[in-house]
Structure 1
């Protein structure tokens, strides 16, 4: 507030994790903020570089096509190209289309995908065919992804144009769904106290969660347990998956702590076990011919 107004100071403090709660900016918060800013700027620089490279390659292809068209028009104007010559050229073009027709189709679809659809940029976390990957490099014909185990996967852009792509980076603030079970005989007072603890925990984490998460009974599992679901909304999307799991883990720890402090537990009903009469076990036969020491050992056992 020495340099900013009160509103500007609050907005500035909200940029740092847990700064508004602690009323100070720690060294770790500042380091995380700088690292995140560096990653965003680096991803933007890589996106611009890949886009520039793709545009330059597309410009070369267009120059070649325009050059061919200009040569044909120039030959027609000068009268050098006759009907017989054009017939020969057209037959050769048909041969080229037959050989490279599929490649030209893939090139056209890739150009439409990269420059028109453009569903992601370098650095975006995407989900394709149920697998989460980060965009590593974009070209005209292919896109390189980095999987969660750091394995690079190359997808043709013509194939990606026909696949549904989920982009976490371009998504708004996303929800976190947590399910847990309680015994059906748990008193209502304990469940109410558990809800209040969870609500107060989320409300106190203003820089991490939106206030007032939804908590409701989801369903009954048989006659011995109830399923409770929490819908909490992050103040971020799931692009940073590591931070998401850290926040989720802290929420789960708070739920477990609250259950222990309110004496809420999950247990099964006692089961009836019916034991039928079994035939008597056959007694071991001890021969008289066995040594006396062995018989004594059997009696002692």
Structure 2
């Protein structure tokens, strides 16, 4: 039968080690992808997620990869083994989400006007139970330059931010309603008097 030479044995051994390393890496990737898809399963097709700070919609899920659709319709392919190591937020599986609208009023605005503002906001929110949770809050966040008071209306949606278009529509309607309330109550913001220095220049003859 004869005996294999040392060079032949060395060649066969190195090839077996190389194949073993290749298959080990492939098997590890497949195993991690299966764990991500079937065990962790952080999202489903159609969910709106945030990965690496980018908001995207899940368009396709495979064993090894997931396809996302970004806001500008660009498709992004992520290996599931990579997604396994990343923090992922999922709007669809989140509870009802909150929002905030910042605004500024003049420091001279009376407490009666501020209380009337809070009451008008309450009436508006309670009149739309399909859009807003009745729990809300109007808070003062600071006083700037001794002439303006910054405030924030904190509200809670009856939806999460999975439906981003609906969320934007509700916030737009809320801001326009605030503008209407400001006009009705005469709440305005005035700039501080500005110092103007005039210098007389003699016209040359």
Q: Which has the larger radius of gyration?
A: 1
Aligned length: 196
Q: 2:70 aligns with which of 127, 144, 147?
A: 147
Corresponding residue for residue 269 of structure 1: 192
| TM-score, reference length from structure 1 | 0.61
- Paired residue secondary structure (2:55): strand
1:111 aligns with 2:34: yes
1:45-99 deviations in Å (ceiling 9; x for gaps): xxxxxxxxxxxxxxxxxxxxxxxxxxxxxxxxxxxxxxxxxxx998654221223
List, as ranges, runs of 4+ consecutive aligned residues in structure 1 with deviation greater than 6 Å.
88-91
Q: Is the 8 A contact 2:136 2:154 kept in 1?
A: yes
Bigger proportion of residues as helix: 1
**Aligned equivalent of 1:124:** 47
- 1:275 and 1:248 map into 2 onto residues whose CA distance is 46
Distance 1:119 1:252 in 2: 34
Structure 2: gaps of 5 or more residues: 1-10
Name the counterpart of 1:135: 58
Aligned to 1:150, the other structure's residue is in SS state coil
Q: Which has the higher strand share?
A: 2
* Higher RCO (Cα < 8 Å, 6 or more apart): 2
1:203-233 per-position Cα deviation (integer Å, ceiling 9, x unaligned): 1111111113111111122211111111111
User: Matches of 1:92 and 1:214 in 2, distance apart?
Assistant: 69
1:209 to 132, 135, 140: 132
Instruction: Check the 8 A contact 1:199/1:212 in 2, yes or no.
Output: no
1:166 corresponds to 2:89? yes
Q: Is the 8 A contact 2:135 2:156 kept in 1?
A: no
Q: Distance in 2 between matches of 1:112 and 1:157?
A: 9
Distance between the aligned counterparts of 2:65 and 2:192, measured in 1? 58
Alignment map for 1:32-71 (pairs within 5 Å): none
RMSD of Structure 2 on Structure 1 (CA): 2.0
- Contact 1:203 1:212 (C-alpha < 8 Å) held by counterparts: no
Structure 1 residues without counterparts, runs of 5 or longer: 1-87, 284-301
